C-alpha cells in the first residue's frame, strides 16, 4: 500500500481556524479583565482562565499537527523523540486544565472542598504524563472524554434544584466536545478522517465560540 | 434612603454594592457607626468587609478636621457601582 501523503494545502485552513479560535479565546479573556479586577469573583476568574488555556491548547494542537505533517512529507529533521511527546505533554495539560476550569466555573459555589482545583491540576498532570509516555493523542482524547463524562455527571447529580442543562452548561459541554473532535481530526491518518466533516465541525465550533464572545460583549462592552 | 435587602441572604458582591451605595448616597462621606447600622451586618462581618474593601481600594478611610474617621469612595469604588448591574448580568448569564 503506498504511503499516505498529507495534503499541504489543508494546513492553510487549519492555520486560519486556529488563529480565529485563539483570537476569540484571547478576546474573551481580555474583555472579562475589568469585571474580574473590580470584583475578584472566582467564577469569572475560572471562566477567563479556561478560555486562555483553551486558546493556548488550540495553538499547541496546530503545532502538534504541523510537526506530525512535516515529518511525513518534508525532509526536515526534527528530533521527534523529544519534540513530539513534549508538544503532546503541553497540549494535554493545557486542554485538560482548560476543560476542568470551564466546567468548574459554573459549579465552584456548590463544591465546598477547596482542594478540588488542586486535584484537577493533578489529574491534568497525570493525563499529560500518560500522553507523554504513550505518545498517543487518541489515548489523550479517550482520557478527556472520561473526564468530561465524570464532570458532567457530577454536575447533574449536584444540581437537583436548577435545570440540569442550562444554556451556559450546554455551551461549555459543546466547547469541550468540539475540542475533542478537533483534536481527533488534526491527524489525517486518524480513523474516520474526512476533510468535509472536519471543515463543517470547524465552522460550527467557530460559531459556538463567536456566540459566547457575543454574549460576553453584550454585558461587558 | 437606601433600602437594605434583609429578607434573603445577600451574596458577597451584593453586600459590597450595598455598602458602597450607602456611602455614595451619603454624599460620599459617612462615619463608621452609621455605615454599620445601615449596612445591616454584624460588627464582625462589617469589619471583614471594610478591610476587604480597603484592600481592594474600593473605599478609603479619611479623617476630618475634628479628627473623626469617615469613609469615602475611591474612583474604583464609583466604577464598581457603575458596572455592578452589567457584571451581575454577565455572572447570571454564564452561571458563574
Q: Give the count of alpha carbons within 13 A of A188, CB side only.
A: 19
- Residue B42: what pLDDT? 94
A96 close to A128: Cβ distance less than 8 angstroms: yes
How far apart CA A69 and CA A204 sit, in angstroms, is: 25
Tell me the residue length of chain B. Answer: 96
Q: Mark residue A138 as left, alpha or beta (left: phi above 0; alpha: psi -120 to 50; beta: remaining).
A: alpha
Residue A162 Cα, gap to closest chain B Cα (Å): 11
C-alpha cell of residue A112: 465546598
Task: Round the average pLDDT of chain B to a whole number and report it.
Answer: 90
- Residue A174: what pLDDT? 87
**Nearest alpha-carbon partner for B41 in B78, B2, B84, B5:** B5
Query: Does any domain span residue A2?
Result: no
Q: What's the CATH number where A15 sits?
A: 1.20.1070
Proportion of chain B in helix, strand, coil states, percent, rounded to 5: 55, 10, 30
- Which residue reads 499529560 in cell numbers? A128
How far apart CA A209 and CA A101 sit, in angstroms, is: 16
- B89 and A CB contact within 8 Å: yes
Q: Count chain A–chain B contacts defined by CB atoms under 8 A.
A: 51
Per-residue pLDDT of A71-114, as tens digits, reads 554 566 667 777 888 999 999 999 999 999 998 998 888 886 77
Query: Is residue B82 classed as helix, strand or coil in its secondary structure?
Result: helix
Q: Is the pLDDT of residue B8 over 80?
A: no
- Residue A4: what pLDDT? 44
CB atoms within 10 A of CB B75: 9
- B95 and A CB contact within 8 Å: yes
Measure CB to CB from residue A44 to each of B56, B80, B96 and give the nearest one: B96
- Residue B55: what pLDDT? 94
- Residue A162: what pLDDT? 58
CB atoms within 10 A of CB A191: 7
Kindly give the parts of chain A with pLDDT less than 50: 1-5, 73
Q: Is the pLDDT of residue B11 over 60?
A: yes
Residue B73 is inside which H or E element, if any? strand B69-73
- Residue A2: what pLDDT? 42
Per-residue pLDDT of B39-76, as tens digits, reads 999 999 999 999 999 999 999 999 999 999 999 999 99
C-alpha cell of residue A154: 457530577
Contacts of B79 in chain A (CB under 8 A): 38
How far apart CA A86 and CA A45 sit, in angstroms, is: 28
Per-residue pLDDT of A49-60, as tens digits, reads 999 999 999 999
Report the domain count for chain A: 1
Subunit contact B94:A168, Cβ cutoff 8 A = yes
Give CA separation, B48 vs A97, B20, B82, in Å.
Answer: 33, 14, 23
Query: Does any domain span residue A187?
Result: yes
Measure CB to CB from residue A106 to each of B13, B87, B96 and give the nearest one: B96
Subunit contact B86:A219, Cβ cutoff 8 A = yes
- Residue A12: what pLDDT? 85
| Sign of the torsion formed by the C-alpha atoms of A50, A32, A118 and A155 | negative
Query: Does any domain span residue A1?
Result: no
Residue B67 Cα, gap to closest chain A Cα (Å): 31
The pair phi, psi for residue B70, each rounded to 5°, is -150, 160
Strand partners, B71: B30, B61
Chain B residue closest in CA terms to A106: B96
C-alpha cell of residue A209: 465560540
Q: Where are the alpha helices (DSSP H) in A32-166?
A: 33-39, 42-73, 80-104, 116-134, 137-158
- B76 and A CB contact within 8 Å: yes
DSSP state at residue A4:
P
C-alpha cell of residue B87: 457584571
Tell me the residue range of the domain where A61 lies.
8-220
A116 close to A101: Cβ distance less than 8 angstroms: no
Query: Is residue B61 classed as helix, strand or coil in its secondary structure?
Result: strand
Measure CB to CB from residue B13 to each of A34, A41, A105 and give the nearest one: A41
B64 close to B44: Cβ distance less than 8 angstroms: no
Amino acid at each position: 500500500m503506498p504511503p499516505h501523503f498529507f495534503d499541504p494545502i489543508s494546513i492553510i485552513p487549519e492555520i486560519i481556524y486556529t488563529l480565529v479560535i485563539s483570537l476569540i479565546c484571547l478576546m474573551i479573556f481580555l474583555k472579562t479583565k475589568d469585571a474580574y479586577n473590580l470584583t475578584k469573583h472566582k467564577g469569572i476568574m475560572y471562566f477567563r482562565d479556561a478560555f486562555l488555556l483553551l486558546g493556548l491548547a488550540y495553538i499547541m494542537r496546530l503545532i502538534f499537527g504541523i510537526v506530525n505533517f512535516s515529518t511525513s512529507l518534508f525532509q526536515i529533521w526534527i528530533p521527534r523523540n523529544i519534540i513530539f511527546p513534549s508538544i503532546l505533554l503541553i497540549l494535554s495539560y493545557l486542554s485538560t486544565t482548560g476543560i476542568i476550569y470551564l466546567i468548574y466555573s459554573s459549579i465552584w459555589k456548590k463544591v465546598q472542598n477547596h482542594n478540588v482545583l488542586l486535584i484537577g491540576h493533578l489529574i491534568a498532570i497525570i493525563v499529560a504524563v500518560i500522553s507523554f509516555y504513550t505518545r498517543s493523542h487518541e489515548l489523550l482524547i479517550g482520557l478527556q472524554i472520561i473526564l468530561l463524562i465524570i464532570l458532567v455527571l457530577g454536575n447533574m447529580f449536584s444540581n437537583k434544584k436548577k435545570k440540569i442543562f442550562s444554556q451556559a452548561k450546554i455551551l461549555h459541554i459543546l466547547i469541550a466536545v468540539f475540542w475533542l473532535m478537533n483534536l481527533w481530526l488534526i491527524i489525517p491518518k486518524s480513523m474516520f478522517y474526512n476533510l468535509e466533516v472536519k471543515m463543517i465541525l470547524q465552522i460550527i465550533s467557530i460559531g459556538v465560540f463567536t456566540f459566547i464572545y457575543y454574549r460576553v460583549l453584550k454585558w461587558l462592552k | 434612603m437606601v433600602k437594605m435587602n434583609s429578607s434573603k441572604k445577600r451574596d458577597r458582591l451584593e453586600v459590597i454594592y450595598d455598602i458602597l451605595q450607602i456611602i455614595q448616597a451619603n454624599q460620599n462621606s459617612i462615619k463608621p457607626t452609621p455605615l454599620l447600622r445601615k449596612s445591616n451586618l454584624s460588627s464582625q462581618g462589617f469589619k471583614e468587609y471594610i478591610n476587604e474593601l480597603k484592600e481592594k481600594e474600593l473605599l478609603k478611610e479619611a479623617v476630618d478636621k475634628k479628627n473623626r474617621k469617615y469613609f469615602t469612595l475611591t474612583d474604583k469604588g464609583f466604577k464598581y457601582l457603575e458596572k455592578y448591574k452589567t457584571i451581575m448580568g454577565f455572572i447570571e448569564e454564564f452561571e458563574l
